[in-house]
Amino acid sequence: MSARITILALLCLVASGTAQAQPAGPAPYEGLLRESDMRLFQFRDALKEQKPLTDFLYLRYSGREWNHVVFYDLDGKEALFRYRTDRFDDLAERKIRDLLPGQVYRLPVKFVGLIERRIVYPPGTPDFQRLLDSDAGRPAFEFLSAEPRQPDFIIY
């Protein structure tokens, strides 16, 4: 009986030693939305500190809401991008017809303000500052274009 325990103990030591001796593999796959991409809370912090804003964001497409398209970041925070002037603007539908839910897009940003209850509050207004300080409202942008982010390697 003690011989079996000794053999099992030796096998465990050998198995754990070989598992630790293997070299580290490549970095884990993060997906098309990376940890290093700017998030919407960082964009909001840049607004609070009056730092220069980024020229583009990488966000996932969610769907349409009113005259806006909705995108979200890695944390699930949403931003609205206005793509049409009103519901009768049929030509604007061409801009967004190829967007796929869940796909990551590179979006050039033109910040318009913070939106709450379908009202956009532009920077410089007292309501904008109130929303910014209370972390309420969602960032609103003008929709310029959306380029899908392609992986820089081949997935088999």
49 inside domain: yes
155 inside domain: no
Please count the structural domains in the chain.
Answer: 1
108 inside domain: yes
In this structure, what CATH number is given to the domain that contains residue 132? 2.40.50
pLDDT per residue as tens, the chain (156 positions):
566 666 656 556 555 554 444 455 555 545 676 787 889 899 999 999 989 988 999 999 999 998 999 999 998 999 999 999 888 888 888 888 899 998 999 999 999 999 998 889 999 899 989 998 888 889 999 999 999 987 766 666
6 inside domain: no
Domain enclosing residue 81, as ranges: 40-148
80 inside domain: yes
12 inside domain: no
2 inside domain: no
Helices 126-134 and 40-48: angle between axes, nearest 10 degrees:
130
C-alpha–C-alpha distance, residues 79 and 69, integer Å: 8
10 inside domain: no
